[in-house]
Amino acid sequence: MRPIFLLCLLLIAGAGSYLSWNRFPSFRTRVEDLLSGTTFQTLEVRYSAESIMEAHKKDLLKDANHVFLEPTLKFIPYLLMDVKYTRNLDRTGEGVILWGLVDGEMVINTSTWEKTHGFTDCITANATRQEFKIINALASRGGMWDREGLSKFLNLENNILDNWVDSCRKKSLIVQTGNTYRLHLQNPKLQVIPETKLEHWLVTKPTKHAQRIKKRYRSSQIEVTAKAAFGNDFAIRKTTEIFLPVYSIVVQNPDGSQMTSYWNALNGKRFVPPYDFE
């Protein structure tokens, strides 16, 4: 009876820990504080919550009956990759890529926080190098191409092309209408130089009490997708996990309800989080 009792206790403790980890960010933060080092790297806070609330007061507060509550600062994980790639036939490009570990998209420019659109689907589908050849070819043509043009561009035999296309279609990465293929994405943005325009400093922040958002993707998933997407000449020399500071600004409505908006502390602009952001 004793082993069974201990097993039940372990199962209950495990279930409780799992629920606490996923449902209570403060619990997760305390555990991460214990497991991680004393500091972590983050992009620098350049705008205060107060300056953002003042600048957008007219939009956020409809009248005097709406009031701001105390803002909170959250930290969203990103993978910073030191990379090299072929810029053209006789030149190698070197730089860094900042890739979201929550939304699965690459940041193109940190000043505007412009991002790609479509890599999330590719990560989820475990897109291969061969499938990315189809995806990139379609992306280069605005997201759509006929079978004949695609075959000539990729210089593939029909049976190989059909196998690659069928694989992409089964993963819901492309759709086929007659002899025309198109990316199964709204406004895809995949044709980008594999380098983030990073114009901001990294700083070190104490780990204690910093509320870090849970990662949705592993670093290895990002690395595999980047290598598949950017070709054989793309190489990752080093990776570092860093964070983006984001304010959670809450407005108390007259009826007691609350409206929460998120703001990028790096550029002071509104931040649109993933649908299940917490």
The more confident residue out of 163 and 31 is 163
Note the pLDDT of residue 10: 62
Q: Is the pLDDT of residue 27 over 80?
A: no
Token pair, residue 179, equals 């002899």
Contacts of 241 (CB under 8 A, 6+ apart): 40, 41, 77, 78, 79, 80, 101, 219
Beta bridge partners of 240: 80
Q: Is the pLDDT of residue 200 over 70?
A: yes
On whether the CB atoms of residues 114 and 107 are closer than 8 A, the answer is yes
The per-residue b/e assignment along 236-246, b for 16 or more CB within 10 angstroms, e otherwise, is beebeebbbbb
Note the pLDDT of residue 21: 44
Report the range of poorest mean pLDDT among 25-34, 164-173, 243-252: 25-34
- What tens digit of pLDDT does each residue of 117-132 get? 999 999 999 999 999 9
Note the pLDDT of residue 188: 93
Strand runs labelled E in the chain: 39-43, 67-68, 72-88, 91-100, 106-109, 114-115, 144-146, 174-177, 180-183, 202-206, 211-212, 235-252, 258-264
| Distance from chain centroid for Cα 90 | 32
Task: Give the CA radius of gyration of the chain.
Answer: 23
Residue 218 has what DSSP assignment? -
The more confident residue out of 217 and 22 is 217
Contacts of 225 (CB under 8 A, 6+ apart): 119, 122, 123, 127
Average confidence (pLDDT) over 206-214: 84
Note the pLDDT of residue 184: 96
Average confidence (pLDDT) over 92-118: 96
Average confidence (pLDDT) over 167-185: 94
Q: Is the pLDDT of residue 175 over 90?
A: yes
d(CA 187, CA 266): 26
Average confidence (pLDDT) over 231-236: 94
The more confident residue out of 171 and 88 is 171
Average confidence (pLDDT) over 187-205: 90
Note the pLDDT of residue 2: 58
Side chain identity, residue 273: P
